[in-house]
Structure formats: structure tokens, C-alpha cells
Structure 1
Amino acid sequence: MVENTNYFNSLKSYIPNKSDLNTISENNFYELQKLATAFKDDNQWDNALLCLYKAKLVSIQENFSPELQYTTRLALFLQQAGLFEESKSELQALFNNVDNYVHILLSNQRTNQAILRRKYKAIYLENLFDKARLIYKREQQIEQATIFKDKRDEYRKQEKHFDEILSEQTDIELEEFYKEIEEDIIAEKLITPNKNIQSKNKISTKQETMEGLVGLIIIIIILWFIFK
């Protein structure tokens, strides 16, 4: 689990009312992202934020982990719309959600789960703190922005570390795989001739038995004619 730390203290969250949210009829996650961009370009920040909030709800309802560039868009848009406190609250929510995000992302992964979980957690947090750095820098909070830059670099190093572990593990697994194949081939070569020999022996034994029976029948017939 991620450490229980409040990096982004805020008492205000962005939660639009239901009637405003219903003005956005689109329900597809990626179409909502496009709409948000269009509203932003048209300087309609309220609608842009509604689209991103609804997209967030869609990802939760459909239980999927979107690409990282989409996860922090709401926080970025909130800051650009002049809602810095709400942006901080969104950043904290994202930080608290990292384990769930990675769990869903790797739900179909069957190998290297432990290492991949750590790797993708590092990637997620690297992205999160990079965007936090940008948001705080825009707000002229340079000291905090520097702290978040250091956190970003820390998780970037972790990501590279886990990549190296995965690379080494893959090489070992491949080596073992090819070793098993070679052992199977050798075993097959040793076993196959024996099977052929056994098969030939069986055929030879059957032929000898038949020849013996035929000879015995001929002798019986000859004796029958003699004594008759």
C-alpha cells in the first residue's frame, strides 16, 4: 500500500450537482475527453470540467484504468480554471487511488505480478508528481513544486530499477525454457530407438510363434496318414 500521506492538503473538492452533470449527454470516456478539450478551447471551463468529471465517473463505473495522460487532466483543468484548492483535492484523490488503479490495470496479468505492480505504481506516481509539480509551479509555489519534482525523480528511478529486474528475470526464464526444450529433445532421441527395437522384437516373436504352429500342424497331419 502507498504510505498514508496528505501531500495535497485541501478542504475543497470539485463535485458538480447532478442537474449540471446531466447537461452532458455523452457517456463514452474518450468522447468526453474530446468534448472537454473542445470546451476548453472555446473557454467554456464549466462544461470542460463537467466532461472530465463525468469521464472519471465512467472509468469508475466501468472498472477500467485509463491511460495516464487522462488521469490527471481534471486536476490540471481545475487549476487552469482558477480552482487551485479543488485541484489539490483531486491530486490527493489520485494519490490515494494508486493501488486500485494498478490492481485493475494488471487484473489479467498472470506472470511477474509482484514486480509489475511495483513498476506501474512507480510510473503512476511519477506522472502524478510531475503534474503536481507543474500545477504548483503555475501557482508560483516554487518550494512545493521542487519537492514534487524530487518525488517525480525518485519514482522515475524506481521504474528503471524494476525494469532492470524484469529484464534480468526474463533472460533467466528464457534460458530455463530453452534448456527444457533441449532436455526434451535429448530424451526423445533416447526413447524413440528403444520403442522401435521393442516393436521389432514383438513382430519377430509373432512370426516365430506362427511358424512353430504351422510346423506342428504339418507333423500331426503326417502322423495321422502314417498311422491310418
Structure 2
Amino acid sequence: MKKTIIIIAAAFICMSAAAQTPAALVAAVKNAQKNTRWAVYTIKRTDTLMTGDIRSMSGNVFMKPDANDSVLGFQFRAALDGDYHEKIYDGHLGYLIDHNHKTFTSVPDADRINYLIFGGGAGWLVMPDLIKVDTAKAIGFELTKDNNNYYLKIKYADFKPEDVTRRYKILTINRKSMLPAAMRSHQETLGKVQDLYYHIEDIRVNGSGDA
């Protein structure tokens, strides 16, 4: 009996140790994302720009996984606080909504869909890693934790042609939901820092009915 208890305890220790590896953590996040039908969140983004200026914004985002979409892999609707513009992607078309003038512009070109996110405005509030964690092109990982979160640092190679160094992303992963709750993207160009920090302040995932 004592030997059996020791074997079970040893197995539990091995499983716990395995769960602490970056690969095991990423697998757990992806599993949680598979069970995510939709998420609605309020978010604050704070950017440190290469000029030394600080840029802050906040707003609301709806995200929904879309396995049939080859462009982003998810749908979204995003709105900045205090702004009358909204950005939407339904898995087929992108839309730029102007609530003030009650008009919209469609974006059918797949090459321009990414502009909805990276081209400014409400799209800057979309945090793709919440729905689709991305570790592509990583050259290394560091994992730490506290009582509430895991912190996964994902390192990337320097981009020498433009002297871009210290490239990394840090995902803050909630230990209860196993979903990213914050993301920091960092790089330095000729010694000048660019640091983009997304922090989800409130989130609702799944629930009854559709969002």
C-alpha cells in the first residue's frame, strides 16, 4: 500500500512538473481557446513609442473564433471609448463604421483586412492572442508565475538589417481561465524602445446564448 502511494505521488509530481513547461502551458491555453465560443472585453492599451511619447486608449471588443477564416482565424467588433467609429470583421468582409454620419465602408480585400487591426483606431484594441495564441518564429521561452497568473515570455530573433533588438512578447495568462489577460510586445531599434501593452480589465466568455 505504501509503495502504491509513493508511486502515485511520484506520478503526480511528474505531471505537475510537466505542466510548468512553456510547451505544456501553450497547449493548455490552446485547449481553453478551443472551448471559447466568444469573448467580450474592455481593454486598455498603453504604448511607449520610439519618440518617448506615451499613447493610451481604451474601449470594448467582441471576438469570436472562426476556423473557416484563413485571414485572421477570428471575427471581431471593436470600438474606442469616446469615438464614433467602429471596426468589424465578419470572417468575410471588413467594415469601417461611422456612427456619426451613419455610413460604412466595406473592406473586401484580404490584404487590407490586417489593416483593420494594425492601421489604427479601434482595431488597435484587438488582442489576437486571446483567441488564437501565436508562438510562431519564437526562438526561446521563459515562464514565471504567481498566485493568479502565468507569465510567458516569448523571445524573437533580432532583425539586424534595421538594428532591431530585444524583441519579445509577454503573455499574462489567467490561471483560472487559462486565457491571456494581458500582452506586452517589446522591441528596441537603435536603442529606442517601442513597447505596446494590452491589459484586459473586464471579460465575459461564452455564457448563455450568443453574444
TM-score range, shorter chain: under 0.3
The structure where helix makes up a greater share of residues is: 1
User: Considering only CA atoms, is the larger Rg found in Structure 1 or Structure 2?
Assistant: 1
TM-score of the superposed pair, with normalisation by structure 1: 0.23
The structure where strand makes up a greater share of residues is: 2
Q: Which has the higher contact order (CA 8 A, sep 6+)?
A: 2
TM-score of the superposed pair, with normalisation by structure 2: 0.24
